[in-house]
Amino acid sequence: MIREIKVNELDGLMELYTHLHNNPFPEKDERLTSVWQTILDDKNHHIIVAQENGKIVSSCVCLIVPNLTHNRQPYALIENVVTDPLFRGKGYATKCLDYARELAIKEGCYKIMLLTGSKEESTHRFYRNAGYNSNDKTAYIMWL
């Protein structure tokens, strides 16, 4: 099942995020609770999840960014694409990205952008197969 995350699913999401850059499971403190509430309150912040047998097995974040150019059409940013290693290769991440694309279309976005830090050809092939290209733009990052 592909859908947006529910308020009570933070633990499942954070468990999945341990597979993203080997992130540790965070301490449940006031800061985590505050960030979670900020995300939930933001109508432009969408956490899309794939669920299998009650477990969140894949996810991506889709941010809708209001924009003054391109006829005031917003654009979408995709981040935190991750699938539990035990569920990879089964189409879950593709379905999450498809959901994000439909959301972006519904919101009138003129483009979707995503970045990956992966150097693995299989990751780049996955994104190309999902309809993304690396030819139209050049990305630069400044880590803070």
In a domain, 144, yes or no: no
Q: Structure pTM? A: 0.94
* Per-residue confidence band for 112, with pLDDT thresholds at 50, 70 and 90: very high
- Output the pLDDT for position 21: 83
Q: Is 12 within a domain?
A: yes
The answer to the question of residue 100 being in a domain is yes
CATH number where 60 lies: 3.40.630.30
The CA radius of gyration of the chain, in Å to the nearest whole number, is 15
Mean per-residue pLDDT of the chain? 95
Query: pLDDT band at 22, cuts 50/70/90?
Result: confident
**Residue in 54, 129, 134 with CA at minimum distance from that of residue 94:** 129
Q: Which domain holds residue 55?
A: 2-129
Which residue is it, tokens 């809708």?
A: 64
- Please check whether residue 143 lies inside any domain of the structure: no
The total number of structural domains in the chain stands at 1
Is 137 part of a structural domain of the chain?
no
Tens-place pLDDT, residues 52-91: 999 999 999 999 999 999 999 999 999 999 999 999 999 9
- How far is the C-alpha of 124 from the C-alpha of 130, rounded, in Å? 10
Is residue 135 included in any domain, yes or no?
no
